[in-house]
Each structure stands twice: as structure tokens, then as C-alpha cells.
Amino acid sequence: MRAPRRLTWARAGALWAGLSATWFAGCPTGTGPAEPEPVAEPEPSAEPEPAPDDFHDPLSTPEEPTVLLSNFTPAETCGNCHVEQHAQWRHSTHAYAMVDPVFRALVHERQVAFAGAQDQFCTQCHSTIGTRGGEVVDNFSFDNLGPVALDGVTCEACHKVTEVVRPYNAGHQLEQYSPMRGPLADPYPSEFHASVETDLLGTAPFCGSCHDVIEVSGLTLERPYAEFKESPRGLDGGRCLDCHMPTYDGPAAKDQPARTGLRDHSFIGVDTPLGDNFFATPDDKAAHRARVEALLTDVCSLSLQTADTVSQGTVIDLFATVKNEIDAHNLPTGTTFIRQMWLEVIATDDTGQVLFETGTLDANGDLRDFWSELDKYGDNDLVSYSSRLIDLLGTPVLFPWDATEHQSTSLSPLYERTSTLFIPTAEAAPGLVTISVRVLFRSHPPYLLRALALDEYLDELVVHELASAETEVLVTAAP
């Protein structure tokens, strides 16, 4: 029997009114381990909560602009002096956030679904400046956005943040007249801007202010910061930077003396931007992909257990244990409802005959589950570690705004889960049965790209092997 632990993040009907109360109720207050982060959690506000049908949030999706776009500078200008930071950033997914074809296609679907009335929702994090600066209006078109909005999560979207108000849904203050805020205690003077030292950007709640995502319905979509806060590393004072911004030495700006401990702005995750336009050269794209591969090395371990011998006709009980080796957040994390992580198991007998398979793909490259067009529900044994969005009837849905529940089977930090699979031997030739198991991962499923008419990118999808193991069982002739 296979019983993956099902974690339900949020339920139907949790409206904004109940939302902050629920969120904060989950935070330990006083009795738990001391908060390692210098940024205090905000207290639940005594202000009346916005009515559930009032989509606009004064902080992150204001009805009227709260900043002037002319007070912000395109990243390219910063790159005149911050050559390295710009070169790293411009191939990061932070720079990709507003040009990502998957993002654009989903925003289009949402525009259709809400007749444009919630257009600031998706852009509140993907382009905080464009959203607060009034360029993203109801029924906006990407074609009409200026360079700063199209820069997405650009330099000043981080370096002009003065305060974290809530660790989700773009919950930070963006100060248009702010000097550049950064980690340097004694910055050399710059003719372009004043500088101010701050610890804020290095803290996990700052990253969480965009990385934890809650739908307008109240459904939690992404929660790496919430996971991190309760993880061994989070409780030990660790930071997102430990892994996502490795250090290097060099000048922090052109013609300045070198410094130690600069932070790499490539923000490597699991995703390599699609298409040929984003990267300057194909080599840059290959280099990005190689860094994703490197990040995905040793993220989990896999061990197998079976009997040594069974007699023909009985079932081999295969125990496959997968452990998340990351001490900081779940595996997978973030957009787990888009990512796919699963177990592939193939058992073959001595003659090469396949006795059992799960986690193998159909001719479209899809898993043989609900979303397969060729073999829907053809794989009843599928073990998935991602999450799925479902509606009130329990039917899987593609778009977060159609979902009332988000069911996750992702692995908590350092947590291991054992799945049991039953391999029939009635058809097996007496002799050794070989069982090959792999933990596989990919950033996007083909069915999603097809549903969004993005077929041109299908060839770019890569299935990463996170772990593999093999075992043999001797099948003896039935007595």
C-alpha cells in the first residue's frame, strides 16, 4: 500500500478576511525557538480587512500609482558601472520574469477569466515597479510596457526596498527616492547615486515577500519562505543567499578596488529560460543549464529494499525511500504545481520482458496520469512529489484561479518518505528480476506548454535524473 503524506495548504473559501489571521496563527509566538532573522514578523493589523471582493491592496496592487516610473532606472544603466552584477542578473529568471512566455500566456488566460479586472495580481511580484508605477492597468498589453516594467525583478525592485511588511504577495515597501541600499558598510562614492548600508536584502523574509504566493481566493500557491522558517537551516540563522547567491571576489563597481564576498546575482533555481532571444549566445544558455544541473545534484537520496528471493506468482514488495537532502526548504518548492518530480520504476525479468513500469512517459512525453491525452489514468502506481490544484469536485485544474484546493506531496527539509510498490511475478521467467528506479524532475510538463500554445518550446524541456538505484530479486519456479 502506498500512502504519500498529503498536505493540504489551504481550503476553499479562505478569503482575505480570514487569511492573515490563519497565516499568523501558524507562526510560533514566544514559546518556540528564537527567531533567527533580524526582521520581525509583522503583527496582525487591527485595521479592518479589505472586503473579499475588493481585489486591490494599497501596498502591492494599488488602484492609483504610488510611485513615479521616472524615478526608476533600467538595469542596463546600472550595468555601466556594475558590470558583473548586471551580466549575472540579465541571464537570471529575475530578468526573465516579464518576458517569460509561460508567464505571459498564463497572464493572458487570467485576463480572459477576469475580464482584466485582476491584472495587477500576477505582476505585483513579477514587476513591482510596473505595477506600483501605474503601467499595469486593467487589460494591459505587454507590448505597451516600458523598459523598467519589462526588466521584471530588476535592480531597483530589490535595492530600493526599505521594509518588509508581510512575507508574501509583494509585501514590502518600495521607496522611489531611496538611495541604493546594499550590504557594503563603507561604499566608495558613486557619481550616480547615494548608498546606504542595510542587512534587509540578505534576510529570508525579504525573499519571502515575493516568493510566498497566495491567490486572491486565499489558496496558498508557493511557500518556500514558510518552509524555510521552520527548517533546520532557517531555525539555525541560515539565509537563502547561502545557496542562491554564492560569493566571489572582485570589484563591486567598475574601476573600484576589489572586494571579497560579493554575491552572485544569477539566482540559479530549477528553471532555464526558454527560447533563443533571452540569452546573448547559445553558450550562455548551456552554461545556465549546467548550473541548474549542478544545483540539482545530491538534492535527494534514494534507497531500495526488497526480499532477496520470491517464488513465481507472488508479488515483490518494493520499498523505495526518497529523502530530501536540502535542509532549507521542500523538494520541490516554489511553483510545485508546475514542476514535476516523480519516481520511475521499471522491472524486467531475465529474458528482458517488462513485468512492471510506472513513471514512464506516453508518446507526447507526458506522465500517464489525468493530463495524458493518450493514456489518461494509465499509471495507477505513479508516485509524485509535486503538487496538484483541484476544484470543488476534486478534478485537477490547470489554472490556480480555478482551484479550491492545493494538494502537495513535496518532501519537507531532510524528510524521507517510503513508497511501497507491488511487482507481479506471475509472468516472470524464473531467474533474476532487475528493478531500476530513478527520481526524475522537470520544470514544465509538455501538456501545459501545449495547452498554452507554446509547442515551439517542447523540445527544450529537460528531464533531470535526481537519483537512481537498482536491485535484483531471484524468482524461483513455483513449487
Q: Which CB sits closer to ligand HEC, 72 or 356?
A: 72
- 296 lies in the binding site for ligand HEC (CB under 6 A): yes
* Residue from the set 130, 334, 445, 446 that interacts with ligand HEC by CB under 6 A: 334
- Dihedral angle, C-alpha 118, 123, 128, 133, nearest 10 °: -60
Q: Least distance from C-beta 154 to ligand HEC, angstroms?
A: 6
343-372 residues near ligand HEC, rule: CB under 6 A: none
Instruction: Give the residue closest to ligand HEC by C-beta.
Output: 334
Closest CA to 71 of 150, 133, 140: 133
Report CA Rg, the chain. Answer: 24
Return the residues of window 124-143 that contact ligand HEC according to CB under 6 A: 124-126, 128
Least distance CB 214 / ligand HEC (angstroms): 7
> Whole-number minimum distance, CB 15 to ligand HEC, in Å?
17
> Alpha carbon of 393 to those of 183, 397, 405: distances in Å?
50, 10, 10
- Residue 77 touches ligand HEC, criterion: CB under 6 A: yes
Q: What angle do CA 14, 229, 183 make, to 5 degrees?
A: 120
Q: Which three cell numbers stand for residue 361?
A: 512517459
The number of helices, as runs of H, and strands, as runs of E, in the chain is: 15, 19
Q: Which stretch binds ligand HEC (CB under 6 A): 27-35, 43-51, 62-70, 82-90?
A: 82-90
Cα 191 to Cα 70, 194, 195, distances in angstroms: 19, 8, 11
User: Under rule CB under 6 A, which residues in 232-261 are in contact with ligand HEC?
Assistant: 233, 238, 240, 242-245, 252-253, 256, 259
Q: Where are the beta strands (DSSP E) in 75-208?
A: 161-164, 172-174, 180-182, 195-197
Which candidate, 328, 277, 272, 325, places its Cα nearest to that of 442? Answer: 272
Instruction: Tell me how far apart the alpha carbons of residues 24 and 271 are, in angstroms, rounded to a whole number.
Output: 31
**Would you give the distance in Å from CA 441 to the centre of its chain?**
13
| Smaller CB separation from ligand HEC, 39 or 346 | 39
Residues 371-430 that bind ligand HEC (CB under 6 A): 400
Closer by beta carbon to ligand HEC, 259 or else 431: 259
Return the residue of 190, 348, 360, 436 that touches ligand HEC, per CB under 6 A: 190
Query: Under a CB-based contact definition with an 8 Å cutoff, are residues 312 and 426 in contact?
Result: yes
Each residue 297-316 as x (binds ligand HEC by CB under 6 A) or -, in order, gives: --x-----------------
Match 546575482 to its residue by C-alpha cell: 265
Binder among 285, 329, 417, 464 for ligand HEC (CB under 6 A):
329
Q: How far is the CB of 476 from ligand HEC (least distance, A)?
A: 42
> Is 279 among the residues that bind ligand HEC (CB under 6 A)?
no
The Cα 443–Cα 273 span in angstroms is: 10
449 forms part of the interface with ligand HEC (CB under 6 A): no
* From candidates 147, 202, 365, 396, binder to ligand HEC by CB under 6 A: 202
Query: Look-up: residue for cell 479550491?
Result: 404
Q: Does 67 bind ligand HEC (CB under 6 A)?
A: no
According to CB under 6 A, which one of 14, 19, 67, 107 is a site residue for ligand HEC?
107
Which contiguous run of DSSP H or E holds residue 259?
A: strand 258-263
